[in-house]
Amino acid sequence: MIVLGYSGLDASVRYARRDPDLLPGEERIVQGLDSAAAILADGRIVAAAAEERFGTEKHTNAFPQEAIQYCLNEAGISMGDVDMVAHGFDYGRHATTIGVVSPALYAEVYSPIRQVELWRDRFDLPRGKFVSVQHHLAHAASAYFTSPFADALCVVCDGMGEIDAMTIYAVRDGRFEVLDTHPIRHSIGILYGLVTRHLGFKFNADEYKVMGLAPYGNPEVYRGFFESLVDLHPDGQYALHLERLSPERAPYYRQVLAAFEKLLPRPEGTEMLPQAHCDFAAAAQECLERVLFHVVTHWRQTTGLRTLCMAGGVALNCTFNGKLARHGIFDEIYVQPAAADDGTAVGAALAILHQRGEDRSPEIVQALPFYGPAYSKEQMLAALRGQDDLDRTDLGSAENAAEDAAGALAADQIIAWFQGRMEYGPRALGNRSILANPLVPDIKERLNRVIKLREGFRPFAPAVAAERAPEYFDFTPSSMFEFMLATCPVREEWRHRLPGITHVDGSARMQTVDPSRNGLFHRLITAFGRRTGVYSVVNTSFNLRGQPMIVSPAIAIETFRKVAIDRLYLGSVRVCKR
């Protein structure tokens, strides 16, 4: 059976912009961002990619036409070969629920009929092939069915998914039992997103920046404020009391932002945030962790389930993930690498396969998360034609390129590394990466200022050969570290030696690289280790500020030209500026 899954609500931002009272940035306080597509055949993920990678708008909610076409091409099929199309939203269940959505919003944004029309405008979609999947079920399926677990507690937490913000499942041998749900009015994800917006960043996009800023602050300063907003109740329950902030009749998010402004005026910029705003971020991070620990601890004790799956945008909070792993209440924790809404493209397809009685293939996660486009040497060389101001050298093999790149890194050069299939999800894991030497004292400042063109407070992640990771980092092995989804402490004796990847609190968002998952990247790191004695490199995504991760050789070359990257490796081809 072939199932094509997709995510996104094409008209959500456009509908929001019609509000005459809309303030700048509020168009992002919607559902349906991170459009993506995925194709599964015979229980195996064949291709998956976010629509943003084929354009210029990060977190786009546009109908994923380019991503769908890529998936069809990669699978070597046409729409006529697809058995079912699964969408990771099912608002049809709520169409008659009074007060959930207005009739106009439902008809123009959420209606399954609207989705079918979008398909038929672009692709040949026969009748009866379209199906809607509950949003949180799509998230849960994306995590459970790509995990190694037979039984697991599964927690889905995001800003908003249809009418819910969090759903807790017990999954036993593929059977999903809903244990509890938390409605949008109690969304800890939205509260964190509004903190993100108040600090000058983008709601529904830049929450990871708040996570990175929090270690610079003292949570005690604003702890009382956040504790006044959240009550923890028995049985894993909690409640947000945002009405305590303002008695005014206004959209709740404006009430929250107005209360934030009264407590702490919004900063004028984000490059050098005052200490008070760092303290605010720290308290918000602590509040998020307090709620999540309360929920997962209760359900761990109640169900007896010792393994945990997580998905939804909040599951990308690496600081919480790392603390939960160190807490030790679960034997293993698995976070789906594309945990945000792009991951529901895979999840919706997996949910339908399961409903139709098809089992997941044992090979389903072998390539995870490298499901995006790859390019041949001929295509890479074609992209270089006419680029006469660039020197290019074919090193004969990608393995030779890894050795050459390791030498460049050991000489303190910064390189761009473009290899194999693109990553699915937000993390660059060694196929679309900018790499640097973590031993260089000012490498973080150089990368932030002249390469990534981003805020100076933001840390960089280490990619480390898995077998050497315990030498540098204090952690319990977990798949979360394979996918750069959790932080852990850098060992005390290494913090001053690895300034490029050690955050202000002594932590690092580490990626362990195993040769069985990415042998070429492991070879590069090992070659760097032979030269320097340290088997770890700085790994950040190959893109500039505001740019989606690089998808193609042409965009890689264009980006390489713009900033002070010393070398670009396209497969076996080394590219240098003259």
- pLDDT of 367 reads 74
**Mean pLDDT score, 192-202:** 96
pLDDT, tens digit (0-9, with 9 covering 90-100), for 19-69: 877 877 888 888 999 999 999 998 899 999 999 999 999 999 999 999 999
What gap in Å lies between CA 323 and CA 215, rounded to an integer? Answer: 14
Residue 569, Cβ neighbours under 10 Å: how many?
A: 24
Answer yes or no: are the C-beta atoms of 37 and 71 closer than 8 Å: yes
Q: Compute the distance between CA of residue 197 and CA of residue 191 in angstroms, rounded to an integer.
A: 10
For the ranges 86-90, 241-245, 305-309, which has the lowest average pLDDT? 241-245
CA 422 – CA 373 distance, rounded (Å): 6
Query: Above pLDDT 90, what percent of the chain?
Result: 83
The span from the CA of 256 to the CA of 264, in Å, is: 12
Instruction: Report the topology of domain 377-577.
Output: DHBP synthase (3.90.870)
Q: Which fold has domain 155-335?
A: Nucleotidyltransferase; domain 5 (3.30.420)
Q: State pLDDT tens for residues 323-370.
A: 999 999 999 999 999 999 999 999 999 999 999 988 776 666 667 899
**This prediction's pTM:** 0.95
- Assign 565 to helix, strand or coil: coil
Longest dimension (CA), the chain: 69
Cβ density class 296-324: b for 16+ within 10 Å, e for less: bebbbeebebebbbbbbbbbbbbbbbbbb
State what percent of residues in the chain have pLDDT above 70: 96
Domain spanning 2-145+342-355: CATH superfamily: ATPase, nucleotide binding domain (3.30.420.40)
Q: Using pLDDT thresholds of 50, 70 and 90, give the confidence band for residue 97.
A: low
Residues 316, 208 contacting (CB under 8 angstroms)? yes
Which regions of the chain carry the CATH code 3.90.870.20? 377-577
At 95 the pLDDT is: 62
Residues in the chain: 578
- Contact between 16 and 26 (Cβ < 8 Å): yes
Confidence of residue 98 (pLDDT cuts 50, 70, 90): very low
Report residue 418: phi and psi, to 5°: -120, 105
The DSSP bridge partners found for residue 132 are 87
SS3 per-residue string spanning 252-315 = HHHHHHHHHHHHCCCCCCCCCCCHHHHHHHHHHHHHHHHHHHHHHHHHHHHHCCCEEEEECHHH
Separation CA 263–CA 261 (nearest Å): 5
Check residue 304 and give left, alpha or beta (phi > 0: left; psi -120 to 50: alpha). Answer: left
Domain with CATH 3.30.420.40 in the chain: 2-145+342-355, 155-335
From 264, 286, 288, select the one nearest 275 (Cα to Cα). Answer: 264
Per residue in 482-540, pLDDT tens?
Answer: 999 999 999 999 999 999 999 999 999 999 999 999 999 999 999 999 999 999 999 99
Q: What is the predicted pLDDT for the residue at 199?
A: 97
Report yes or no: 351 and 90 within 8 Å, Cβ to Cβ.
no
